[in-house]
């Protein structure tokens, strides 16, 4: 007769499997595949950096791509770059995302969208105390309100499209790791990027029945024209905190973003630190992968500890810097 203790012992390795099964049953939304080939992808900020890299990759994969930004000259340059690299034509749309009517006109002109990528963004680092209200408003209006304008303009057409084609669609929003954790010098920027998370979580519930999947992408520092500009005025303390992390290339981030979109992932991380951040900040976000859900459930406590170590390091850097410069 097998002892009950032996049976219990046998159960230990089986428990994680049972847990995985339970999670596979629970996770929502259900895993989905969003095809890119042959579909209409509209990318804002598609004339530079991460957006341009996404436009190039989506074109090369056989999507019909439209790019939207303000500067006509930069858009034309991007169109030429994409034509040269892929032989494909992209539609260019000049509009300022802060202008809801201009966005609606541009979206109308582009035609119904299958995959919307809200990637436009501005980042002007500065301590809140010293940053002009104008620059604060600029970041909130472009990063947050601009994204709202876009989604409101694109949704009706997207819903019609999913009904017509029966294929899932995607709304991807490019946030930032500064949208997962507040970092010195990114007060206004972080506020604009954290806001996108609330927007995305609620939106996913609102559009799931229309077969639309929301993705939130969290890139680290990425080599782009925008980052070159940012460096000209990034506070020294922001540098000290952020420079410990490795920069990514725009096309690496673009690939992560597109892969996330294609697999209908809600949270899309771009590097190893990003994966740790995602576990530490999982909160109540939608999760369609039972494997990732498993890592979140069992990694949360440990990642909280790692997060506390990071905060210890950051506050130590700030204390030392301010002591050296006789501040505070």
Ligand X SMILES: NC(=O)C1=CN([C@@H]2O[C@H](COP(=O)(O)OP(=O)(O)OC[C@H]3O[C@@H](n4cnc5c(N)ncnc54)[C@H](OP(=O)(O)O)[C@@H]3O)[C@@H](O)[C@H]2O)C=CC1
Ligand Y SMILES: CCCCCCCCCCCCCCCC(=O)[C@@H](N)CO
One of 49, 168, 264, 299 touching ligand X (CB under 6 A): 49
3-state secondary structure of 26: helix
**What does 281-298 look like in DSSP terms, one character per residue?**
T-TT--B--HHHHHHHHH
Rounded-to-integer distance, Cα 47 and Cα 39, Å: 20
Angle at the Cα of 277 (from 275 to 283), degrees rounded to 5? Answer: 110
Number of residues that bind ligand X (CB under 6 A): 30
One of 58, 68, 103, 181 touching ligand Y (CB under 6 A): 181
Closest CB to ligand X among 70 and 255?
70
Alpha helices in 233-289 (DSSP H): 236-242, 250-262, 272-280
Q: Give the closest residue to 282 by CA, choosing from 262, 260, 297, 265.
A: 297
Position 221 contacts ligand X (CB under 6 A): yes
Site residues (CB under 6 A) for ligand Y, limited to 161-180? 176-178
Position 307 contacts ligand Y (CB under 6 A): yes
The secondary element (H helix, E strand) that includes residue 66 is strand 64-69
Choose the one of ligand Y, ligand X, none that binds residue 245, judging by a C-beta under 5 to 8 angstroms depending on kind: ligand Y
Which residues, 6 or more positions from 106, have their beta carbon under 8 angstroms from its beta carbon?
68, 93, 94, 95, 153
Look up 262 and say whether it is catalytic: no
Output the smallest distance, CB 148 to ligand X, in A: 13
Chain Cα centroid distance, residue 203:
14
Q: Of 128-136, 216-224, 275-283, 284-292, which segment contacts ligand X by CB under 6 A?
A: 216-224
Look up 189 and say whether it is catalytic: yes
Closest CB to ligand X among 246 and 319?
246
Supply 151's token pair: 């989604």
Choose the one of ligand Y, ligand X, none that binds residue 74, judging by a C-beta under 5 to 8 angstroms depending on kind: ligand X
Q: Of 10-18, 40-48, 283-291, 317-325, which segment contacts ligand X by CB under 6 A?
A: 40-48
Residues in the chain: 328
Look up 175 and say whether it is catalytic: yes
Site residues (CB under 6 A) for ligand X, limited to 135-194? 142, 146, 174, 176
Rounded-to-integer distance, Cα 78 and Cα 89, Å: 11
Q: Identify the active-site residue in 48, 59, 66, 175.
A: 175
3-state secondary structure of 115: strand
Q: Identify the active-site residue in 88, 193, 256, 265.
A: 193
- Say whether the peptide bond before residue 29 is cis (omega within 30 degrees of 0): yes
Position 260 contacts ligand X (CB under 6 A): no
Choose the one of ligand X, ligand Y, none that binds residue 310, judging by a C-beta under 5 to 8 angstroms depending on kind: ligand Y
CB 240 within 8 A of CB 188: no
CB 114 within 8 A of CB 106: no
Choose the one of ligand Y, ligand X, none that binds residue 260, judging by a C-beta under 5 to 8 angstroms depending on kind: none
One of 189, 266, 290, 294 touching ligand Y (CB under 6 A): 189
16-35 mask for ligand Y (x: CB under 6 A)?
Answer: --------------------
Give the interface with ligand Y as residue ranges (CB under 6 A). 123, 125, 176-178, 181, 183, 189, 220-221, 227, 230, 242, 245, 273, 276-277, 280, 303, 306-307, 310
Give the residue numbers marked as catalytic: 175, 189, 193
């Amino acid at each position: 007769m097998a002892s009950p203790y032996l049976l219990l012992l046998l159960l230990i390795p089986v428990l994680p499997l049972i847990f995985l099964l339970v999670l596979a049953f629970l996770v929502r939304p259900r895993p989905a595949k969003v095809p890119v080939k042959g579909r209409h992808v509209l990318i804002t900020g598609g004339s530079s950096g991460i957006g341009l890299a996404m436009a190039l990759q989506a074109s090369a994969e056989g999507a019909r791509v439209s790019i939207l930004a303000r500067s006509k000259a930069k858009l034309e340059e991007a169109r030429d770059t994409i034509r040269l690299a892929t032989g494909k034509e992209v539609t260019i749309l000049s509009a300022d995302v802060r202008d809801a009517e201009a966005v609606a006109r541009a979206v109308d002109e582009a035609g119904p969208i299958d995959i919307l990528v809200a990637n436009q963004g501005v980042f002007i680092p500065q301590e809140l105390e010293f940053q002009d209200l104008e620059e604060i408003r600029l970041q909130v209006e472009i990063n947050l309100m601009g994204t709202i304008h876009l989604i409101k303009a694109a949704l009706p057409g997207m819903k019609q499209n999913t009904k017509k084609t029966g294929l899932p669609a995607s709304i991807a929003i490019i946030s930032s790791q500064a949208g997962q954790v507040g970092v010195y010098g990114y007060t206004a920027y972080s506020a604009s990027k954290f806001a996108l998370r609330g927007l995305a979580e609620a939106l996913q519930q609102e559009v799931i029945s229309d077969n639309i999947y929301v993705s939130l992408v969290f890139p680290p520092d990425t080599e782009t024209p925008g980052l070159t500009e940012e460096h000209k005025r990034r506070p020294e303390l922001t540098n000290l905190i952020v420079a410990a992390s490795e920069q990514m290339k725009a096309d690496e981030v673009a690939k992560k973003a597109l892969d996330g979109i294609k697999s209908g992932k809600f949270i899309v991380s771009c590097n190893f630190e990003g994966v740790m951040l995602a576990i530490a900040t999982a909160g109540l976000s939608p999760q369609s992968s039972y494997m990732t859900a498993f890592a979140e459930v069992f990694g949360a406590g440990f990642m909280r500890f790692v997060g506390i170590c990071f905060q210890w390091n950051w506050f130590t850097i700030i204390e030392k810097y301010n002591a050296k410069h006789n501040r505070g």
